[in-house]
Structure 1
Amino acid sequence: MTRSFEQAVAAFSPALPLAVAYSGGVDSTALLLACARKWPGQVRAVHVHHGLQAAGDDFERHCQDFCRSLQVPLVVQKVDARHAPGQSPEAAARHARYKAFEALTLIEQAQEAIQTIAIAQHADDQIETLLLALSRGAGLPGISAMAPQWQRGGLTYCRPLLQVSRADILVWLQAQGASFIEDPSNVDERFTRNRIRARLLPALQGCFPQFRDTFARSSRHAAQAQEVLDEVAVEDLARVGVPPLLTALQAFSRPRRANVLRHWLLRVHQVTPTAAQLDELMAQIEACRTRGHQLYLKVGQGFCVRRGKALDWYNP
């Protein structure tokens, strides 16, 4: 169920001291302002300068001025967020941001290291993420959209506004008279997420006024189902071994075999196969019924191969 901005902030109880990811835009400005008021002296801001826009230096100066007015320490992390060939710009920027956030483990405030990062992603962001995942034919992990809390690189990340609409955040911030910046890239419809925001969300609002609640509920159901599959995969990987024995894999049903293979590739080798790669891998495993049958298939940046009685993966 959607919440008001005030309700979400009241329910937020992170470990302190807290760092807020602060871009200078509406959402992060509102979150930083509310947190600084709720925990005076226990909040710092971190601004990631992506180096992608000419206005980036202006954004940084705005953030410095606003944090100075709040008496909130600001850390600026400059990163190179340019994307590599075949990598989405959004993924490259996200990876660069995480690297910048993880650098905060070396920064101390009030003689205590920052361990929690608050990110101001909200209910509309959650729906956009779900629709992007559906457009790409994603499975349960993608349909689960964004988690409210998770661990990465020694830090706890929180999204306390996932049940708050952007419109409610904007109304609250305007009532405070606080200044914020508008990133022109957020309205550039060359990016799919922006087209969803500009065209699909208004249409959904007209057809299904409760769509933020109902779509988010579907994402939570998907996340719960994925948790069960992860638990089964851990048990199954213990049964088939690492590297997994081919005969043990062949004994599983096709869906269960796919589940344990995805788990093994991701947890052991940090590889996520495409749907086509996984289908072909399953077919080749099924065909490996004789001692001389070989298996060799590109998966991710490496290859799945047969080594004796087992399936292995390597990156040449």
Structure 2
Amino acid sequence: MTQRFDQAMRAFEPALPLGVAYSGGADSSALLLACARKWPGQVVALHVNHGLQAVAAEFEAHCVNTCARWHIPLHIARVAAQAQPGQSPEDAARIARYKAFDALALVECAGVAIKSIAIAQHADDQVETVLLALSRGAGLAGLSGMPQQWQRAGIDFHRPLLQVAGSVLRTWLAAQGEAFVDDPSNSDTRYTRNHIRAELLPALDRVFPQFRDTFARSARHAAEAQSLLEEVAMEDWAAVVHAPTDLPLIKAVQILSPARQSGVLRWWLKRSYQVIPNAAQLQELRRQVQACTTRGHHIHIKVGEGFVERRGLVLEWFPLRSPG
């Protein structure tokens, strides 16, 4: 039953030294132990204490004790992950976690700074991500799910277990005789992801036993299509950009087809401002751009935490201005 896990670990070849995100749960415990056995002396554990639960201190203590027993160096980051108004707890925790990884990436293993970080998200997590994207009416970027590899702040991040079911990891860990902590929030169905895990995944398993593989394949297809769209958007950007300002020329955008207008405007906003417009905002922006045929035509539309406005011949995005 654990053959898929063994295959994933054989195929996983990150740049060393390697940091493994370690919560103390079953998934990260299996990944950390397997990596430490494959690359002895080249692996460190990275634990982020979000401080959101009463058991956070117990989880940290478990990680300290386990890493001492496994002879794996452990680095701990304590963060404030409380959600801001309008922000989900999951998003707040994720943002805080990756900021912590940025800091932990400076740690060393055997005197050398780590080059890669591995995260134990698995096939069930990928299915949940795709289902959440579908429920929100996401485009190709959302339907691509979680990438298996990416770079952030000069570090290679990896998710080597996206083809492995969570139950396989627990079975493998039990065979090693190893214990793990169980986050009580994982069973709280007030969170949509947990509701999907508790209700939808068992149903999918009964009706479509191969759903983890097929969802993963669909996510890869979506990711390839999204990559192609981004290449087209980059080519279109070269045709619409006003070089002195690095801003899009309105008349040049108008020449493009509606779909390519959406692509290049979305690419510009993300590249220049890290802003991702929703579908309604992008449609309204495109409509206003098409209607801009006179010198005095005004464009002003909220996109993200700011506004896109006309500035002469070009479009520009401005963040919301603080009162006073």
For Structure 1 versus Structure 2, the TM-score category normalised by the shorter chain is: over 0.9
1:194-218 superposed Cα distances (whole Å, 9 cap, x missing partner): 0000000000011111111111111
In the alignment, what sits opposite 1:223?
223
| Residue in structure 1 matching 2:276, options 272, 279, 286 | 272
Residue 190 of structure 1: CA displacement? 0.6
Alignment partner, residue 260 of structure 2: 256
C-alpha contact 2:77 2:104 (8 A) present in aligned 1: no
C-alpha separation in 2, matches of 1:166 and 1:91 = 22
Distance 2:105 2:97 in 1: 14
Equivalent pair of 1:104/1:114 in contact (CA under 8 Å): no
Q: Which moved more, 1:157-166 or 1:100-109?
A: 100-109
* Runs of 5+ unmatched residues, structure 1: none
SS in 2 for 1:4: helix
Partner of 2:86: 86
Distance 1:115 1:7 in 2: 23
Between 231-240 and 99-108, the greater mean CA deviation after superposition:
99-108
How far the C-alpha of 1:276 sits from its partner, in A, is 1.0
Corresponding letter in the other structure for 1:122: H
8 Å contact from structure 1 (residues 20, 43) kept in 2: yes
- Give matches, 1:28-43, under 5 Å: 28-43=28-43
Maintained 8 Å contact 1:117/1:158: yes
Residue 309 in structure 1 maps to residue 313 in structure 2: yes
Q: Who is 1:161 aligned against?
A: 161
Cα distance in 2 for partners of 1:182, 1:265 equals 40
Using the TM superposition, give the Cα deviation of residue 15 of structure 1 relative to its aligned residue in structure 2, in angstroms. Answer: 0.8
Alignment of 1:166-315 (within 5 A): 166-241=166-241, 242-315=246-319
What is the identity, as a one-letter code, of the residue corresponding to 1:22?
A: Y
1:302 shift after superposition: 1.1
SS at 2:75 equivalent: strand
For the residues of structure 1 that align with 2:44 and 2:170, how far apart are their CA atoms? 22
Structure 2 CA distance for aligned equivalents of residues 249 and 276 of structure 1: 18
Matches of 2:213 and 2:134, distance apart in 1: 17
Distance 1:115 1:234 in 2: 29
Paired positions, count: 315
Alpha-carbon distance in structure 1 between the residues aligned to 2:222 and 2:79: 34
| Secondary structure of the corresponding residue to residue 247 of structure 2 | coil
Report if aligned partners of 1:140, 1:223 keep a CA contact under 8 Å in 2: yes
Post-superposition offset of 1:102: 0.7
The two structures have a TM-score, normalised by structure 1, of: 0.98
Does the CA contact (< 8 Å) of 1:105 and 1:154 recur in 2? no
Aligned-residue offset at 1:106: 2.3
Runs ≥4 in structure 1, deviation > 2 angstroms?
none
Post-superposition offset of 1:33: 0.6
Aligned residue for 1:126, secondary structure, equals helix
What residue identity is the alignment partner of 2:230? D
Kindly state the Cα deviation for residue 11 of structure 1 after the two structures are TM-superposed: 1.1
Distance in 1, matches of 2:153 and 2:98, equals 9
Listed one character per residue, the Cα deviations across residues 97-130 of structure 1 (whole Å, up to 9, x for unaligned) are 1011111232222121112000000000000000
Percent sequence identity over aligned pairs: 62
Q: Match of 1:139?
A: 139
RMSD: 1.0
Shift of 1:275: 1.1
TM-score, scaled to structure 2: 0.96
Task: Report if aligned partners of 1:240, 1:249 keep a CA contact under 8 Å in 2.
Answer: yes
The CA distance in 2 between the partners of 1:205 and 1:135, in whole Å, is 19
Aligned residues of 1:102 and 1:154 also touching (Cα < 8 A)? no
Write the distance in 2 (CA, Å) between the matches of 1:144 and 1:244. Answer: 27
Contact 1:116 1:157 in 2 (8 A): yes
Distance in 1 separating the partners of 2:17 and 2:107: 11
Q: Give, in whole Å, the separation in 2 of the partners of 1:156 and 1:236.
A: 29
1:3 deviates by: 6.2
CA 1:3–1:220 in 2, change beyond 3 Å: closer, same or farther?
farther
What's the counterpart of residue 17 of structure 1? 17
Question: Which amino acid in the other structure matches residue 295 of structure 1?
Answer: I
Cα distance in 2 between the residues matched to 1:3 and 1:240: 51
How far apart are residue 10 of structure 1 and its match?
1.2
